[in-house]
Amino acid sequence: MTSATENAGAAVAEDDQDEAPRAGRLTNLVCGAVVTALGAGALYVALDLDLGSLSRPRAGTWPAIVSTVLLVCGALIMVRSAHFADAERITRNGYRVVAAVIGLVAVAQLIPLVGFEIPSFVLLVAWMSLMERERLRLSVPVALVTVATFYLVFIQALAVPLPRLF
Amino acid sequence: MDFTPVIEGFEVVFEPQNFLFCLLGVVVGMVIGVLPGLGPAATIAILLPLTYGMDAVPSIIMLAGIFYGAIYGGTVTAVLLKLPGETSSAITALEGYPLAQKGQGGKALGVGAIASFIGGTVAIVVLTLIAPVIAGFALEFGPPEYAALTMLGILLVATISNGSMLKAFAAAAAGLLLATVGRDGFTGELRYTAGSLELTDGLQFVPIAMGVFGLAEILYNLERRRKGGAKLMKAEKVLPTRGDLRLLVGPITRGGILGFFLGLLPGGGATVSAMASYGIEKRLNKGPTRFGQGAIQGVAGPETANNAAATSSFIPLLTLGIPANATMAVMFGALLIQGVTPGPQLVTTDPDLFWGVINSMYVGNLILLVLAIPMIGIFVRILYVRSSILSPIVVLIVCIGAFTINNRIFEVMVVIVFGVLGYLMKKYGFDPAPLVLAFVLGSLLEDNFRRSLLMFDGDVAMVSGRPIAMTLLVLFAVVVLVPLVLRVIWTRRPDLDLLGAAVPAGPDDTPGSAAAPGPDDTPGPDTPGADEDTDGGTRAASEAEEGTAANGGTRT
């Protein structure tokens, strides 16, 4: 029930955090459309996999059943889109999420090429200083200590074969 | 009952290595669980890679320790920051935070630790006695029974989980679909791999759980965070007085019994039991302290109940192989990684693991009690560390942990993809818990569903000859139909509550279950309970809201 956990946590901490604005009908309609499209696409592939029969189920039997459920759920979400009030609008702070994801993807791609040390250091400094507005005189030493600790723990102590520069 | 294996289980726990990992698990669980936003499922998911190189027994003992350590860690933040690490702790915040505001945060945490210990220990004693009985009963299960039980488990989790039921069903269906990715176990055909070699063996559970629970939470908080830390409360005078203890006997006893039985049910047992306990204690309260202003009974009851429920939720996992909630789903994944298949045979095939894990809970709960009180000061200091510093470090741990699964970047990318998916799900009201649970149970469900069809030669009516499977399917139908029937009743009779009893009219009279704290149980609108209800913290509350709205009431 982690999500419930976090939602409750977020809710309880309302005093300490910005309250997210609620999203409107269009957002729920799009959510339903995405779910429907996913179900329809999966059903198309399942049909291609061979449905078999009830007495001799094949590779596509179960995916077809599940895809149909997904498709129906998506359609119902679209139909009832005006009745939902649980979606949150992505605020202007959403750029932080986009930046964080781009940073993570970049780090994941760079690690095999240049090792984990430099990408990890840059990610930590960028995350702390650019996204969280911590001062460089704090983020740089924290990043250095963190990367050094990870090096000692994962490379030296646990012998994890992480790509590394040093 | 033959107690020899039980006693041998204690020998397993007290092996130095296992004892050390139990201790380590509890401490690590408490420390990580204290970090706001990281509940037990996220904590276990993030730390799973640490167990790869370990034997099954110490790794599961450590993860169990992390589990109840993290639950207590959530209590610390709930009391001191009004920021619970998990939903069940949100109920503790209702009374714990006002106590902290009065300078009695230490007492609230101390009572929480004592109540958690009692709740957990009582539940383990009962678990010890009844788990083998349930496992013996489950040996009668065949594919139809397992298929029906798994379906019922997923349905109940989707039904009780956070947010809209329809969206929870969609999430569960998506989880089942994700479980089909890879090679079909019966025919060997590739499904939904899009030509990717990495997907031939299917998606792995750990990166999905790390993404959906761990990274998604960090991304979600990243968007919502505002500069400035929370005001911290002091936590002095930890031990309750004799007078307090007299007040607490009733709430602890009731909470323990309630929590144990509610924890057996699939879906949010700990949360529901904490809410139920709070509701009961509030109704029974005749003392001078009003609920909502720092009643210590409101900490003791829910804390006992949620720990008892958390412990009893191990029963369906270990005896039936069915995880009752998302945290147990992560534990299920951890067991599978260790080559252990939870189920009725586990008692006989792997008694060391079965009794070792169960008995480690006695020891772990005791360690928790002994450590919790002196560590309160340390927890308070941990809370001073800003999340702006902790978040990127945790993200890096997640990435390195994902890499260590197969020593390749693919898993890191899977974590990122599912982190984004989890973030979007949270934003748009889709509870990720049914997705993860359905993913874990997907293969089990499909295998048993297809085996059942083969057994019956396609004649599904033959399931009527199997009483257990039939009973489970009837339960399934009841769970599906009851909310629909209730909605019809609400539409026609807006003055009736969930149980059909008349409720007084008024703007605050949102229908609520008898067990869960109703609207009059939750203090003001700035309280966790109130937020929980409006956010759909429980299905009952959510359904109630829909019912209210359907009647032209205020839609939340």
Determine which of A135-139, A150-154, B453-457 has the lowest per-residue pLDDT on average.
A150-154
Q: Which residues does chain B have within 8 Å of residue A142's beta carbon, measured at their own beta carbons? A: 389
Half-sphere exposure of B340 (CA within 13 A, CB side): 30
> Of B78, B169, B186, which is closest to A73 when you measure between CB atoms?
B169
Residue to test with chain B: of A2, A80, A107, A136, most B Cβ within 10 A:
A2
Residues 207-236 of B with CB under 8 A from A: 213, 217, 219-228, 230
Q: What is the DSSP letter of B39?
A: -
Can you list the alpha helix ranges (DSSP code H) found in chain A?
2-12, 25-48, 61-79, 94-114, 117-125, 136-150
Q: Is B303 touching A (CB cutoff 8 A)?
A: no
Nearest by Cα to B337 from B68, B44, B71, B126? B44
Can you list the alpha helix ranges (DSSP code H) found in B48-85?
56-81
Contact A83 B549 (CB under 8 A): yes
Q: Which residues does chain B have within 8 Å of residue A70's beta carbon, measured at their own beta carbons? A: 170, 173-174, 177
Compare all CA atoms of chain A with the CA of B325 and give the residue at the minimum distance.
A1
> Of A11, A83, A109, which is closest to B532 when you measure between CB atoms?
A11
d(CA B186, CA B193): 17
Compare all CA atoms of chain B with the CA of A76 and give the residue at the minimum distance.
B166
At A38, list the tokens. 């996913």
Determine which of A4-13, A75-84, B107-116, B311-320 has the lowest per-residue pLDDT on average.
A4-13
Q: Which residues does chain A have within 8 Å of residue B454's beta carbon, measured at their own beta carbons? A: 55-57
d(CA B430, CA B156): 16
- Can you say how many angstroms the Cα of residue B105 is from the centroid of all Cα atoms in its chain? 25
- Choose the most confident range, by mean pLDDT, from A120-134, B35-49, B69-83: A120-134
d(CA B353, CA B335): 10
> Is A113 or B84 the better-scoring residue by pLDDT?
A113
> Are B288 and B148 a contacting pair, CB within 8 Å?
no
> Are B472 and B152 a contacting pair, CB within 8 Å?
yes
Half-sphere exposure of B407 (CA within 13 A, CB side): 9
> Of B39, B173, B555, which is closest to A73 when you measure between CB atoms?
B173
Shortest Cα–Cα distance, A165 to chain B (Å): 15
Give yes or no for residue A2 having a pLDDT over 50. Answer: no
The SS3 assignment for B54 reads coil
Nearest by Cα to B27 from B75, B79, B68? B68
d(CA B179, CA B446): 9
Half-sphere exposure of B102 (CA within 13 A, CB side): 14
d(CA B48, CA B214): 12
> Are A72 and A33 a contacting pair, CB within 8 Å?
no
Q: Which residues does chain B have within 8 Å of residue A6's beta carbon, measured at their own beta carbons? A: 37, 39, 217, 220, 426
Size of interface A-B (CB pairs under 8 A): 305
Shortest Cα–Cα distance, B93 to chain A (Å): 8
> What's the whole-number mean pLDDT along residues B287-295?
75
Is the entire prediction scored with pTM above 0.90?
no
d(CA B91, CA B517): 10
d(CA B140, CA B121): 30
Compare all CA atoms of chain A with the CA of B269 and give the residue at the minimum distance.
A1
HEC sequence for B17-37: HHHHHHHHHHHHHHHHHHCCC
- Residues contacting residue A23 through CB under 8 Å, at least 6 positions apart: A87, A88, A89, B427, B428
Q: Which residues does chain B have within 8 Å of residue A141's beta carbon, measured at their own beta carbons? A: none
Contact A162 B432 (CB under 8 A): no
ipTM above 0.90, yes or no: no
How large is the angle between the packed helices B16-34 and B351-382, nearest 10 degrees? 40
Helix (H) or strand (E) holding A126: none
Q: Which residues does chain B have within 8 Å of residue A7's beta carbon, measured at their own beta carbons? A: 87, 162-163, 426, 535, 537
pLDDT value for B233: 55
Helix (H) or strand (E) holding B471: helix B467-492
> Is B249 or B293 the better-scoring residue by pLDDT?
B249
Residues 424-483 of B with CB under 8 A from A: 425-433, 446, 449-450, 453-454, 457-460
HEC sequence for B248-308: HHHHHHHHHHHHHHHHCCCCCHHHHHHHHHHHHHHHHCCCCCCCCCCCCHHHHHHHHHHHH
Binned at pLDDT 50, 70 and 90, residue B496 comes out as: low
Binned at pLDDT 50, 70 and 90, residue B9 comes out as: confident
At B176, list the tokens. 């089942």
Compare all CA atoms of chain B with the CA of A43 and give the residue at the minimum distance.
B177
Shortest Cα–Cα distance, A65 to chain B (Å): 10
> Are B541 and B107 a contacting pair, CB within 8 Å?
no
Contact B420 A111 (CB under 8 A): no
Sign of CA dihedral A96, A98, A103, A104: positive
Give yes or no for residue B542 having a pLDDT over 60. Answer: no
Contact B164 A84 (CB under 8 A): yes
pLDDT value for B452: 92
Give yes or no for residue A29 having a pLDDT over 90. Answer: yes
d(CA A94, CA A112): 29
Shortest Cα–Cα distance, A48 to chain B (Å): 10
pLDDT value for B266: 64
> What's the whole-number mean pLDDT along residues B204-225?
83
Binned at pLDDT 50, 70 and 90, residue B505 comes out as: very low
Contact B174 A38 (CB under 8 A): yes
Helix (H) or strand (E) holding B182: strand B182-183
The residue written with tokens 């085996």 in the block is: B451
Q: Which residues does chain A have within 8 Å of residue B393's beta carbon, measured at their own beta carbons? A: 124, 146
Q: Which residues does chain A have within 8 Å of residue B230's beta carbon, measured at their own beta carbons? A: 13, 16
At B260, list the tokens. 């144990």
d(CA B432, CA B299): 28
Compare all CA atoms of chain A with the CA of B97 and give the residue at the minimum distance.
A12
Compare all CA atoms of chain B with the CA of A113 and give the residue at the minimum distance.
B409
> Are B415 and B405 a contacting pair, CB within 8 Å?
no
> Of B83, B224, B400, which is closest to A162 when you measure between CB atoms?
B400
> Of B83, B399, B460, which is closest to A13 when you measure between CB atoms?
B83
Contact A7 B426 (CB under 8 A): yes
CA angle centred on B260, ends B257 and B266, rounded to 5°: 140
Over pLDDT 90: what percentage of chain B? 12
The rounded radius of gyration (Å) of the Cα atoms in chain B is: 23
d(CA B452, CA B463): 9
> What's the whole-number mean pLDDT along residues B157-161?
71
d(CA B549, CA B543): 10
Q: Is B537 touching A (CB cutoff 8 A)?
A: yes
How large is the angle between the packed helices B105-138 and B87-101, nearest 10 degrees? 160
Contact B189 A49 (CB under 8 A): yes
Q: What is the DSSP letter of A153?
A: I
CA angle centred on A12, ends A7 and A18, rounded to 5°: 80
